[in-house]
Amino acid sequence: MRLFVYGTLMDEEYTKQFIGRKPIMESARVNNFIRIGLNIVEKPQYQVEGKVFEVNEEDMEIFDKYEGVNVGLYKRIKVQLEDGEAIAYQKVNSNYKIYVSGMKG
């Protein structure tokens, strides 16, 4: 499976300390999402730039702990990249109201 990251985990050296290897990352983009602080939220016609890399279930368990999935801070979501699907993390109960260029989202 692949993991899409858009924050601190884009740093390969930083990520290496969690999974014990330097991940091979590629630039990636998720369509119809917007980044707001430490979160991504669905928003048509917007894109979030980030990186994607291969992970296994053991890696995902480590990242789940890092992102606070077990305490309800973030959840795993499926996102569509240009070349297929990936997993990303999204804040739980963010309740963002999105205003872009004066338009309510």
Return the domain boundaries, the chain.
Answer: 2-104
Q: What pTM did the predictor assign?
A: 0.87
Side chain identity at residue 94, one-letter code: S
Residue 89 near residue 8 (C-beta atoms within 8 A): no
Q: What is the pLDDT of residue 104?
A: 42
Residues 26-76: pLDDT tens digits? 999 999 999 998 899 999 999 999 999 999 999 999 999 999 999 999 999
Residue 30 near residue 40 (C-beta atoms within 8 A): yes
Cβ neighbour number for residue 68 with a 10 Å cutoff = 14
Query: Domain spanning 2-104 has what CATH number?
Result: 3.10.490.10
| CA dist., res. 40 & res. 37, Å (int) | 8
